Chain A
Amino acid sequence: MIHWLTTPFQYPFMVRAFAASVLVSGLCSIVGAYVVLRSMAFLGDALAHSVLPGIAAGLLVSGRGDRRSLFWWALGTAVAVALGVGWIGERGRLREDTAIGIVFAGMFALGVALLSTVRGFAVDLVHILFGNVLGVSMWDLQVIGGFGMVVLLIVVLFYKEFLVVTFDPTFAATLRIRASFYRRLLLVLVAVVVVVSLQTVGLGLMLAMLITPATTAFLLTRRLPWMMGIGAAVGILSGVLGLYLSFYWGIASGAAIVLVAIGFFLVALLVSRRRGLFRRRSPRDTPHHSVAAE
């Protein structure tokens, strides 16, 4: 058993893969708490897919193989899209989800179009869509770690502002805190996390990492800090277990991690059902509504 557990660590690339999975899963789960609570799942998915034209442009401009410059292209695109979506949401003649849908599909099409002019298009696309945690380099790890620290720091420092802005935006406005600034900052954090996670899970499965562990935790706890903590634990555990599955059974690593996370979610769903956490209000509340309406 011990041997079974330690074998993967004989390979330096597996050690890097484990480190990357732990960092990325933890980060995604913590930021994912806000994605879940603000019902931004669709936005998270859109952000991930919108990165594609940035990567494609990077490939065209810088030539193949230079992953570092690709990272910055992806980051720039994601932050720009996050701010753009925030802007559309606040001006809003369109419904937000409609606007996101158009931007998202348009950006993805642009990315595919650009990529298709590059030779070896299919290989690149598969790599970007599904990631390759086994190919994580030391530089990648440093980037994930560095940006991860900054994201965590911001989440901790502005905890109470993010909480108010997420829970009750109208009330936040009366408190004269800079509500739209914090809303945009939150979007940018999601964008950063999406980009640093790309190498590990790829943009096709990004959404699962953002929302599955966070939702699992949501089912099990009643306080936001716990939701983030439990979410991170579930995410990290999924990352580690998923990599073992991937190592021994030859399953694609990103998919393995996501499937384990979904497993945890299903267990949490059953547990919370049993404990009655699905009850939305106390029973005292509902039956009297007709009295007041008369």
Chain B
Amino acid sequence: MMSLRAPVTRLGRRTAEAAHDPTAPALRIRALRVSYGKQTALEDVTFDLPAGARLAVVGPNGAGKSTLLKAIAGILPGDRGSIAVHGVAPEGHICIAYLPQRSEVDWRFPVTVADAVMMGRTGRLGPLHRPKESDRAIVQEALMRVDLADRGGRRIGDLSGGEQQRMFLARAIAQEAEVVLLDEPLAGLDISSQNEVLALLERLPKTTLLVALHDLGIAATRFEALLLLRGRVLGFGRPADVLRPETLRAAYGGSLRMVKAENGVLVVHDTACSGKDRGP
């Protein structure tokens, strides 16, 4: 992705969890536009996502994948259009978890894995409240769910890449997030770690997932819905409907290879490789 400004937050307001509107979809985006200064990163984005859906957000580098996730998380303001999460603007929620790219975090930071997961409780606890026994139990359970129960006391920098990503997931679980946004969770991971993370994502109950990916093959085979971006929405729906030669050419230009798989779905590789997709 392109360079991002420091996240913008609103001062002077402590928000309790917004009431969810049960009739509204988990995510409703209408004519969204997000800009950095004069440069428009995303334009005219409109789609709905029901609760519990699992959506892969794909597109070439700089297509606006991270921008979209950050806008949904409520940390980048849109300058036109609207976003509603369970019927309410994202700023009203603490049930949205955003998992950064691993390269955005300082892994030498002196916290243990359990400390980092406990950070997910911060918003629920509110200022001046210390974690209670119940919070510690929630953290331990979250660690168990991601198979890191025995790693709680480790320094975060001692984890492998896959474990780091699972730790972030545990933090989202501890946060009791209902909408989880993952920015390139598989970047820099080996195949077996990738599969562990994907399997975990499939096991998250009652959670609406948006996952930015650059591997179209994984997106097509492991997700039931795709959103293809390049500054705007080029395709939205089931993988077979989105990954058609015309739309892919519009998204990637010449920088892709297409392979016909046995089941008829096009499996495509984005061969463009920029610095941002490196691991930390």
Query: Does the CB pair B94–A175 fall under 8 Å?
Result: yes
What residues on A are CB-neighbors of B142 within 8 Å? none
Contact of B161 among A171, A178, A223, A285 (CB under 8 A): A285
- Specify which chain A residues have a CB less than 8 angstroms from the CB of B70 in the assembled complex: 170
**Do residues B189 and A160 form an inter-chain contact, with CB atoms below 8 A?**
no
When distances are taken between beta carbons in the complex, the residues of chain A under 8 Å from B73 are: 170, 173-174
Shortest Cβ distance from B139 into chain A, in angstroms? 13
Separation of A181 and B273 alpha carbons in the complex (Å): 38
The verdict on A84 contacting chain B, using a C-beta distance below 8 Å, is no
Q: What string of 1s and 0s marks CB contacts (under 8 Å) between B56-72 and chain A?
A: 00000000000000100
B119 within 8 A of A: yes
Q: Is the CB of A288 within 8 A of B123?
A: no
Question: Nearest Cβ in chain B — how far from A184, in angstroms?
Answer: 8
Q: Is the CB of A160 within 8 A of B122?
A: yes
A37 to B7, CA, bound (A): 18
Residue from the list B13, B131, B160 in contact with A284, Cβ < 8 A? B160
Kindly provide the distance from the CB of B203 to the nearest chain A CB, expressed in whole angstroms.
Answer: 22
CB pair B119–A163 under 8 Å, yes or no, is yes
CA–CA, A289 and B102, complex, Å = 13
Q: Tell whether, in the assembled complex, residue A160 and residue B160 are in contact, meaning their CB atoms are under 8 Å apart.
A: no
CB of A157 closer than 8 Å to a CB of B: yes
Q: Which residues of A contact B93 (CB under 8 A)?
A: 176
Q: Which residue of B lies closest to A288 (CB)?
A: B190
Which of A167, A174, A289, A291 has the most C-beta atoms of chain B within 10 angstroms of its own C-beta?
A174
Q: Are A224 and B111 in contact (CB under 8 A)?
A: yes
B236 sits at the interface (CB 8 A): no
Q: Roughly how many angstroms separate A168 CA and B8 CA in the complex, as a whole number?
A: 13
CB within 8 A of B106: which of A92, A167, A175, A285?
A167
Complex formed: what's the CA distance from A37 to B111 in Å? 11
Report Cα–Cα, A229/B215, bound state, in Å. 45
Closest to B99 in A: A171
Q: Is A73 an interface residue (CB 8 A)?
A: no
Determine how close the nearest CB of chain A comes to the CB of B121; give it in whole angstroms.
Answer: 8
Residue ID in chain A nearest B108 by CB atoms:
A280
Residue tally, chain B, CB below 8 Å to A: 63
Most A CB contacts (10 A, CB to CB) among B15, B93, B161, B175 go to: B161
* CB–CB A175/B122 < 8 A: yes
Question: B115 and A223: CB pair below 8 A?
Answer: yes
Q: How far is the CA of A286 from the CA of B160 in the complex (A)?
A: 9
Residues facing A in B244-280 (CB within 8 A) are 269, 273, 277-279
Question: Which listed residue (B5, B11, B108) contacts A92, Cβ 8 A?
Answer: B5
Q: Report the stretch among B19-27, B151-159, B219-227 that lies at the interface.
A: B151-159
Residue of A nearest to B161 (CB): A285
Q: Cα distance A41–B278 when bound, in Å?
A: 28
Residues 204 to 247 of chain A near chain B (Cβ within 8 Å): 218, 221-224, 226-227
Contact of A223 among B110, B157, B190 (CB under 8 A): B110
Contacts of A218 in B (CB 8 A): 110
Contact between B110 and A169, CB atoms less than 8 A apart: no
Docked-complex contact B107 and A168, CB < 8 angstroms: no
Q: Report the Cα distance A183→B131, complex, angstroms.
A: 22
Bound-complex Cα distance A213 to B28 (A): 50
**A227-B110, A289-B278 known; A180-B190 Cβ under 8 A:** no
Tell me, yes or no, whether A177 is within 8 Å of chain B by CB: yes
Query: Is B87 interfacial (CB-CB < 8 Å)?
Result: no
A163 touches B111 (CB 8 A): yes
* 8 Å CB contact of B97 from A92, A174, A180: A174
Q: Which residues of A contact B5 (CB under 8 A)?
A: 92
Asked whether any CB of chain B lies closer than 8 Å to the CB of A164, the reply is: yes
Extra contacts besides A222-B112, A288-B190 (10): CB < 8 Å: A90-B8, A160-B122, A171-B100, A174-B75, A176-B94, A176-B123, A222-B110, A289-B188, A292-B189, A293-B278
Which 4 residue pairs of A and B lie closest in terms of their CB atoms, listed nearest first?
A288-B190, A175-B123, A222-B155, A173-B75
22 pairs across A/B with beta carbons < 8 Å?
Answer: A157-B127, A158-B127, A163-B111, A164-B122, A167-B116, A171-B171, A174-B75, A176-B93, A176-B123, A178-B10, A178-B13, A181-B12, A224-B110, A224-B111, A227-B110, A280-B157, A281-B107, A285-B188, A289-B188, A292-B188, A292-B191, A292-B194
